[in-house]
């Protein structure tokens, strides 16, 4: 599997669907986020100036935006840089939502998570601002919950991603208690005596820079590491293509309580049916997510 880099002039929406969305192959768009006002605007200084006192909680500790930016830029060396630092944009930074339109970049569509039928947070969908410092990395290899596809828009700094093609689950030793995460403690230094199957894995590393967008299809194991101070915006994608697996997850995550599982799955089925009908009539959902 190759992770290609293309600009908008090289990839029509129809090509994207056939060559990447349907077969599940990641792709880096070099300029898709140029349609956003946030592109070229978001920076540590910009957030300090506009939202310096906006707070979020990381690993049980509350930080202001200014405190986080000082930590990731090395202006404050009195304590460790926390990771991952994130803000749920619709509730914690709603003022920046107009700077992220069209949210789907004219490629991530149709997106049923834009519909009010799918309540935010309940299904795993979110629009999040991620802030990272040099060396900050996701603590484990993982799949995204609910079989959602991820769109990661790098708006400041460079971040290194590693992905594994679909079908390599057994090489990555999924955690028996959480099969969405790998048990490997450090994939860059794997003890092959303890994890012998990993020798068959084929990790693919690449860097996503400021202004670039990474599409990670559902079912792709991945992880990331900031190479310098970074700011990115990530959101999820759901539609008829991944809905069957999404629906299965809705049930599985609640199967210990069958009544609750039936209620949530039934509601999701109804919401999906409404969205499917909407797609047939060309319903526009862009910008409705809250």
CB atoms within 10 A of CB 125: 22
pLDDT, one tens digit per residue, over 185-214 is: 999 999 999 999 999 999 999 999 999 999
Angle at 140 between CA 137 and CA 143, to 5 degrees: 115
Residue 290 has pLDDT above 70, yes or no: no
Q: How many CB atoms lie within 10 A of CB 276?
A: 14
Q: Where are the alpha helices (DSSP H) in 89-181?
A: 89-92
pLDDT tens digits along 60-80: 999 999 999 999 999 998 888
- Residues 211 and 39 sit within 8 Å (Cβ to Cβ): yes
143-166 pLDDT tens trace: 998 999 999 999 999 999 999 999
The pLDDT value given to residue 284: 61
Sketch the domain layout of the chain as residue ranges.
4-280
pLDDT digits (tens, 9 = 90+) for 228-257: 999 999 999 999 999 999 999 999 988 889
CATH architecture of residue range(s) 4-280: Sandwich (2.60)
Q: What is the pLDDT of residue 136?
A: 84
């Amino acid at each position: 599997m190759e992770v290609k880099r293309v600009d908008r002039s090289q990839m029509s929406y129809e090509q994207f669907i056939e060559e990447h969305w349907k077969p599940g192959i990641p792709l880096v768009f070099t300029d898709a986020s140029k349609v956003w006002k946030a592109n070229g605007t978001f920076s540590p200084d910009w957030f300090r100036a506009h939202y310096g006192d906006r707070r979020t909680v990381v690993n049980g500790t509350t930080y202001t935006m200014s405190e986080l930016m000082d930590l990731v830029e090395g202006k404050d060396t009195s304590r460790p840089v926390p990771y991952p630092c994130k803000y749920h944009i619709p509730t914690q930074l709603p003022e920046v939502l107009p700077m992220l339109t069209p949210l789907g970049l004219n490629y991530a569509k149709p997106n049923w998570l834009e519909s009010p039928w799918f309540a935010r947070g309940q299904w795993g969908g979110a629009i999040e601002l991620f802030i990272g410092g040099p060396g900050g990395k996701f603590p484990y290899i993982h799949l995204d919950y609910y079989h959602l596809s991820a769109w990661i828009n790098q708006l400041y700094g460079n971040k290194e991603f590693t992905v594994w093609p679909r079908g390599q689950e057994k090489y990555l030793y999924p955690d028996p208690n959480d099969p969405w995460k790998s048990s490997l403690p450090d994939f860059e230094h794997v003890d092959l005596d303890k994890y012998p199957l990993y020798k068959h894995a084929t990790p693919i590393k690449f860097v996503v820079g400021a202004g670039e967008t990474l599409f990670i299809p559902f079912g792709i194991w991945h992880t990331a590491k900031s190479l310098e101070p970074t700011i990115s915006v990530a959101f999820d994608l759901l539609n008829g293509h991944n809905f069957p697996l999404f629906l299965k997850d809705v049930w599985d995550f609640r199967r210990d309580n069958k009544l609750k599982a039936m209620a949530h799955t039934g509601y999701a089925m109804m919401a999906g049916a409404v969205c499917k009908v909407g797609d047939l009539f060309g319903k526009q959902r862009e910008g409705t997510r809250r």
